[in-house]
Chains A and B, each alone.
Chain A
Amino acid sequence: GDSVTQMEGPVTLSEEAFLTINCTYTATGYPSLFWYVQYPGEGLQLLLKATKADDKGSNKGFEATYRKETTSFHLEKGSVQVSDSAVYFCALSPRDNYGQNFVFGPGTRLSVLP
């Protein structure tokens, strides 16, 4: 079945450092790809998405590019802030099959130190 793999955390960075969280997927069709963020004590919020190959999703300084050739959707931010500390989930929507689950990765915890 479809799956999502993320780099294991926790990831600890200093403020203003560059962030990359790797995400790769396996899917039989042409999924939509997403990054969700979960701040402490809250639900998941959609951070950005891309619906086809070479699309770049971006929001709040974060960006990720849908790379079909490497089946990847890595999350990047040029300069992280303490307020970015959260758990980040990569996910895919398998658009081709009825009843297939939306697939979430295991999450990567990011801690940004002042």
Chain B
Amino acid sequence: DTAVSQTPKYLVTQMGNDKSIKCEQNLGHDTMYWYKQDSKKFLKIMFSYNNKELIINETVPNRFSPKSPDKAHLNLHINSLELGDSAVYFCASTLDYQGTYGYTFGSGTRLTVV
């Protein structure tokens, strides 16, 4: 299936732990993103990579570090997890860096920090 796939779907962890979320797209898209969705469904962009190059890095704590080994993968590593990091994290990709033709989203990773 052609898609954006992210793992894991659910992640429950304790404060202070370090965790990673992986994302892969097989659509041949050039640009990939990480978004955070809060409990009110508001979407906030975190990072964007175009052909493995970081192009958007919003005001996000430096505990969050994206890594793009190739243009089909964009992983998100989070150090020293805090309660406020609990949210749903979505990976997405677009054909071009402006999203002219729309985004394709993964199904999300629900992170719960306890």
Residues of A within 8 A of B (CB): 32, 34, 36, 38, 42-46, 49, 51, 87, 89, 93-95, 97-102, 104, 106-107, 109
Closest to B42 in A: A106
Residues of B within 8 A of A (CB): 4, 40-43, 45, 48, 55-56, 90, 92, 94, 97-108
- Interfacial chain B residues near A49, Cβ < 8 Å: 101-102
- Interfacial chain A residues near B102, Cβ < 8 Å: 32, 34, 46, 49, 93
- Interfacial chain B residues near A100, Cβ < 8 Å: 98
Q: Are B41 and A45 in contact (CB under 8 A)?
A: no
Q: How far is the CA of A97 from the CA of B94 in the complex (A)?
A: 16
Closest to B4 in A: A43
Ordered by A's residue number, 30 sampled pairs between the chains whose C-beta atoms are within 8 Å are: A32-B99, A32-B101, A32-B102, A42-B108, A43-B90, A43-B107, A44-B43, A44-B103, A44-B105, A46-B102, A46-B104, A49-B101, A49-B102, A89-B43, A93-B98, A93-B100, A93-B102, A94-B98, A95-B98, A97-B98, A98-B97, A98-B98, A99-B55, A99-B56, A99-B97, A100-B98, A101-B48, A102-B103, A106-B40, A107-B42
Q: Please report the number of residue pairs spanning A and B whose Cβ atoms sit closer than 8 angstroms.
A: 60
Q: How far is the CA of A42 from the CA of B40 in the complex (A)?
A: 15
A106-B108 in contact given A34-B102, A44-B103, A100-B98 (Cβ < 8 Å): no
Give min CB distance, A1 to chain B, whole Å. 13
- Interfacial chain A residues near B4, Cβ < 8 Å: 43
Which of A46, A97, A98 is close to B103, meaning CB atoms less than 8 Å apart?
A: A46
- Interfacial chain B residues near A109, Cβ < 8 Å: 41
